[in-house]
Structure 1
Amino acid sequence: MESISERIASEVYEKSYAIVDDFISEELRVSLLKEQSELLEAGKFRMAAVGKGEKKQVRTEIRNDQVLWIDAEHLNKYEKQYWSKVDEVRQAINQRCYLGLKSFEAHFARYPIGSFYVRHLDQFQQVLYRKITVIIYLNDSWSQEDEGMLRMYLPQEDGSEEILDIQPKGGRLVVFLSGEIPHEVMPTKKERISITGWLRDID
């Protein structure tokens, strides 16, 4: 029987993305959300920037979320559980897609009410090593009225795009090719929490 990780790898191979509900246990979701809340209260989050190196800058007309990078060398027990599950996905994608994925980097991402991130690609000139985007949503509940969708623009063979809107439902995992699928976070009417990360072909 195909494992969840194998299913994700197959879908990424066939259509460049995969969506899996309840990827993590409810207990792990709640623990990660609680950790995020405590870190936020401790003032650890920073306004997200765009660009890399000398070109890195905060531009709130492009994105106005807040982030906190997770130190992969010093994971707590909940982060370790999540990293372990992502590593199973990494291995499955390598077996199916031959991408040579070696490592994972991620940050907590918090979108306060009214915040957004305009259309972009996760892989650009300075970060060509980002091959696969991996997002896990941590919200307690979400409804259509809360908005804040992840909107993906799926390239079609005729050159057009198909729009796919994904609710940031707690426990939902979204995986896609970083260099191929433009996407944006639509303005949210409720605080929106995730761990957003990238599988990379560098150590």
Structure 2
Amino acid sequence: MENLLDHISSEIYQKSYVIIDDFIDEEFRGELLAEQIELVRQGKFRHAAVGKGGQKQVRTEIRSDEVHWMDSDDLSPLQKTYWEKVEEIRKVLNQRCFLGLRSFEGHFARYPVGSFYKRHLDQFHAVPHRVVTVILYLNESWSSDDEGALRMYFPQEDGTELIEDVLPIGGRLVVFLSGEIPHEVLPTKKERISITGWLKDID
């Protein structure tokens, strides 16, 4: 785990993002997915909103996913185990990258068939305290035919952009600086499940 944490911190420092395959084992991935399915069955998911506070609203032309926020004071045993893994990432990023990260917030994210999230930044004027985005995919299987990639944009000095598409393969972890990398979720042809969260510089 220590070598993996070193790799994560090195890539964030040098490139602002990192992709880790098989961050969790298949058994744990399956357990988290089963918990998510049960939460859906219980009606715990809600349409995701955009904006903050009084400006918050559901706008399905911008994003059409559904979310269930996790309560850091009332985590299930599985959620607590994942929280502890993210805590290790928080510590190493503070040690190596001096980001001043103090807390984590996260939710299960469900993208039904045909849903998407248009290009955006995770850190903006209404949510300035999100410093690092952390996404863990829980899908049972995924291929390029299923689409639904995370598309990341990398602005270049000459005004052009490089694009990298990341398939939401189960067990894959994506970590990036929230205020630096514009991204979107392309329309998916299969239900798409993740835990999406943010390391923040406030408690």
| Separation in 2, partners of 1:105, 1:156 | 31
Instruction: Give yes or no for the alignment of 1:92 onto 2:80.
Output: no
| Separation in 1, partners of 2:86, 2:161 | 29
Ranges in structure 2 where 5+ consecutive residues have no aligned partner:
none
The alpha carbon displacement at 1:155 in A equals 2.2
SS of the residue corresponding to residue 125 of structure 1 reads coil
SS of the residue corresponding to residue 195 of structure 1 reads strand
Aligned pairs (5 A) from 1:26-175: 26-175=26-175
| Separation in 2, partners of 1:159, 1:42 | 47
Q: What is the TM-score when the length of structure 1 is the normalising length?
A: 0.98
| Separation in 2, partners of 1:34, 1:139 | 11
RMSD between aligned residues: 1.0
Structure 1 residue runs of 4 or more that deviate by more than 4 Å after TM superposition: none
The alpha carbon displacement at 1:156 in A equals 2.2
Same amino acid, percent of matched pairs: 68
| Separation in 1, partners of 2:159, 2:129 | 26
Question: What letter is aligned with 2:54?
Answer: E
Ranges in structure 1 where 5+ consecutive residues have no aligned partner:
none
The alpha carbon displacement at 1:161 in A equals 1.3
The alpha carbon displacement at 1:6 in A equals 1.4
Whether contact under 8 Å (1:112, 1:188) holds in the other structure is yes
The alpha carbon displacement at 1:126 in A equals 1.3
| Separation in 1, partners of 2:74, 2:43 | 19
Whether contact under 8 Å (1:24, 1:82) holds in the other structure is no
Aligned pairs (5 A) from 1:178-189: 178-189=178-189
| Separation in 2, partners of 1:114, 1:190 | 8
Q: What is the TM-score when the length of structure 2 is the normalising length?
A: 0.98
